[in-house]
Chains A and B, each alone.
Chain A
Amino acid sequence: MKTVMSNKWTIALYVWPALLLIGCLIYIPLIMTGYYGMLEWNGFGPREFIGLENYSRLMQDSMFWKSAYHSFLLGLFSTASLLLYLAVSLILASKIKGAELFRKIYLIPMLLSSVAIAQLWSKIFDPSNGMINRLLISLGVENPPLWLSDPNIVLFAIFIPIIWQYAGFYIIIYAAALKNVPEEVVEAARIDGATPLQIALRVKLPLISSVFKVTIVLALVGSLKYFDLIYVMTGGGPNRASEVMASYMYGEAFTKYNFGYGSAIGFALLVICLIVTWLIRKLTTSKDDYQY
């Protein structure tokens, strides 16, 4: 057994193509980013090597930490929303009528590109013409919240479309995971008199725990480098109240021509992701898991 399954040539054959691809297209840029982070450079003019100056500036840059805090909040919300997605998936997996249709419908927002989603939600959030505020006004609320222009709530307002957009992504992963749960195990539990709720929580949930852990990492890392919708809908504003790490990086590198500093932010983002992933691994690994 072991000899067949540890054939070096086969392993090399399976792993090298992909490794080569990410080596060229991800690791080269990654190393370059770290290096650019040590330059005083606008992207095309003269380069000046300044060592770790950008990174030490970053440490003291309150704007960076503010954006990092916003990214963490987003990560927290996204992770919490996993429970909601999981609950929906468990319900849909419990053989109720129309589950397939519901699942398909829940995935629709994911098909839309960010341009469309941003347009839609800008309309929903519009301070006086928007759907939410029209509803609130008709309910007698005099000064409904200014969703995207009030610095105190903009961050929370913009989480809503993000969480909504990603519902499909996770529901579809959980659907596949739940599909993998052997029918016999569920049947056995049913015969033992377990209620659907017990089956979901005691039988199915433990069996998909490895997938769930993966999705936690995906949600956290995805949130930490999230960019699209925030950039289109608020551009990080107002008064930078919705600035996240990736939008801050983009602004520095591409709008303000501080490519060196922007790269330093990008690299710091990567390091933060690494630390977070490592922590998650520490918190969730059990001995029979592959460590990731």
Chain B
Amino acid sequence: MSEFAAKKQSDLGKEMSKSGRSVGSRLGTGLLYLILSILAVFQIYPLFWLFLFSLKTNQEVFSASPFSFPQDPQWGNYAKAWTQGHINLYFWNSVWYTVAAVVLTILFASFVTFAITRMYWKLNRLVLGLFMIGLMIPLHSTLIPLFSFFKNIGLIDNPLSIILSYTAFNLPLTIMILLGFYQTIPREIEEAAVIDGCSVHRIFFRIALPLTTPVIATTAIINMIYNWNEFVFVNTFINSDRWKTLTVGVNSFVGQYLTDWGAIGATLMISIIPILIAFIILSNRIVEGMAAGSVKG
């Protein structure tokens, strides 16, 4: 790693000397890269660890060092995860619950934030306050009342209960994050649009949404990760196997007395791949966001 840092440093050095910076500043940048790289190692290590973990036997999992390599890689853990963890069955449920909830959340949150920050009405702060309070309720207090609510409207063991819960519980957070961004959009833009005869819907879909692409991508990532890893709701509101999600597969390896850690590792490893891909695609959208919606310039 120090090699990597050193290389970076020299690369950077070249660039810096071109622009005629002092030695001190070069050292500073080198140090900066060193720190950034150390942080990077800290943050990427768990993925590597999880991979090793997924190939270990239960005995090795608790053996000496988390660094250690499995003696005899247990690829069978993956087969086990796939069949006994019912990944094949749960995978698509996870995907479509996540996607549906993310789309709904972002759409609703954008509507609300737009109405609160860009439109003129008296109760906007009160409504915002109502959403804010939604941020504060501890999840476990809601389980029993929510269960009886879904039971009364016949949504127990129905995927809608999951999608609606994810949407409702992520709305406050998403609105909060969007809020800071909507405030930075200059009013002149929509003033001009209104003068041009744009309707409100057009302003929302044609101006506000594209302008906020970076933050939409950001909230999409956050929402997606939350929904993907959630299991308390699924576990409580869903009874039949065909509606359960991947996280239930993970927990099915936690036993009454014995827990199959290797298979848990494998399930986690498999389940992280789609989210990793989605994340990389979306996080590129954050960067490209402005270029794509270059209304501002």
A positions within 8 Å CB-CB of B: 1-2, 4-8, 10-11, 13-15, 17-19, 21-22, 24-30, 32-33, 36, 43, 88, 91-92, 96-98, 100, 102-117, 119-120, 123-124, 129-131, 134, 164, 167-169, 172-173, 175-177, 179-180, 182, 207-208, 210-214, 217-218, 221, 224-225, 227, 245-246, 249-250, 253-254, 259, 262-263, 266-267, 269-270, 273-274, 277, 289-292
Given A7-B200, A30-B133, 16 more contacts at CB 8 Å?
A: A5-B118, A22-B168, A22-B172, A33-B145, A92-B36, A107-B43, A112-B268, A120-B50, A129-B64, A172-B218, A225-B137, A246-B138, A246-B140, A267-B141, A290-B125, A290-B179
Please report which residues of chain B, range 139-181, place their CB below 8 angstroms from some CB of chain A when the two chains form the complex: 139-142, 144-146, 149, 164-165, 167-169, 171-173, 176-177, 179-181
Closest to B199 in A: A4
Scan residues 257-292 of chain B and give those whose CB is less than 8 A from a CB of chain A. Answer: 261, 264-265, 268, 272, 275-276, 279-280, 283, 286-287, 289-290
**What's the Cα separation between A252 and B173 when bound, in Å?**
27
Instruction: Determine whether the beta carbon of A15 is less than 8 Å from that of B125.
Output: no
Q: Cβ of B241 < 8 Å from any Cβ of A?
A: no
With contacts A7-B200, A18-B109 taken as known, whether A214 is within 8 angstroms of B176 at the C-beta atoms is yes
User: A270's closest neighbor in chain B, by CB?
Assistant: B136
Closest to A167 in B: B43
- CB of B173 within 8 A of CB of A218, answer yes
Chain B residues, CB < 8 A from A97: 8, 11-12, 15
B46 contacts A176, C-beta separation under 8 Å: no
Assuming the contacts A28-B149, A182-B296, asked whether A103 and B283 have C-beta atoms less than 8 A apart, the reply is yes
When the two chains form their complex, are residues B138 and A269 in contact, meaning their CB atoms are under 8 A apart?
yes
Closest to B119 in A: A5
A220 to B235, CA, bound (A): 28
* A208→B217 CA distance, assembly (Å): 17
Q: Tell me the complex Cα distance, A291–B183, Å.
A: 11
Cα distance A167–B127 in the bound complex, in angstroms: 30
Residues A106 and B43 in contact in the complex (CB < 8 Å), given A176-B217, A270-B133, A270-B137? yes
Interface-facing stretch out of B69-77, B78-86, B221-229: B221-229
CA A151 to CA B181, docked complex, whole Å? 42
* Residue from B111, B283, B286, B290 in contact with A18 in the complex, judged by beta carbons closer than 8 Å: B111
Taking a contact as CB atoms under 8 Å apart, the answer to whether B268 and A254 are in contact is no
Choice from A18, A30, A33, A254 contacting B171 with Cβ under 8 Å: A18
Does residue B247 face the partner (Cβ distance < 8 Å to A)?
Answer: yes
The DSSP consensus for interface residues of chain B is helix
B15 contact set on A, CB distance < 8 A: 97
Q: Given A24-B149, A100-B287, A292-B176, check contact A266 B183 (CB 8 Å).
A: no
Top 6 nearest A-B pairs by Cβ distance?
A: A266-B141, A211-B180, A273-B136, A25-B168, A32-B145, A29-B142
- Considering only CB atoms, which chain A residue lies closest to B161 in the complex? A25
Q: Could you tell me how many residues of chain B have their Cβ less than 8 Å away from some Cβ of chain A?
A: 105
B95 within 8 A of partner (CB)? no
Asked whether any CB of chain A lies closer than 8 Å to the CB of B47, the reply is yes
Contacts of B120 in A (CB 8 A): 2, 5-6
Residues in B whose Cβ lies below 8 Å from that of A182 = 296
Provide the residues of chain B in CB contact with A175, threshold 8 Å.
Answer: 214, 218, 286
Report the separation of the CA atoms of residues A13 and B138 in the bound assembly, to the nearest whole angstrom: 29
With A109-B43, A113-B250 in contact, is A102–B36 under 8 Å at CB? yes
Task: Tell me, in angstroms, the Cα distance from A18 to B180 when the chains sit together.
Answer: 19
Are A176 and B169 in contact, CB atoms less than 8 angstroms apart?
no
CA distance A17 to B167 in the complex (A): 11
- Cα separation A28 to B275 with both chains bound (whole Å): 32
Given the known interface contacts A7-B200, A117-B46, A227-B139, the answer about A14 and B112 at a Cβ–Cβ threshold of 8 Å is yes
**Contact at B141–A26, with CB atoms within 8 Å?**
no
Residues B117 and A33 in contact, CB atoms below 8 Å apart:
no
Q: Is the CB of A106 within 8 A of B39?
A: yes
Which of A108, A208, A262 makes the CB contact (< 8 A) with B46? A108
Distance in angstroms between the alpha carbons of A34 and B296 in the assembled complex? 47
The answer to whether residues A15 and B115 also contact, given A1-B191, A180-B215 and a CB cut-off of 8 A, is yes
Whether the pair B111, A105 counts as a contact (CB closer than 8 A) is: no
B42 lies within 8 A of A22 (CB): no
B286-A172 in contact (CB<8A): yes
The answer, yes or no, to whether B201 is at the interface (CB within 8 Å) is yes
Closest residue of chain B to A8 (Cβ to Cβ) is B121
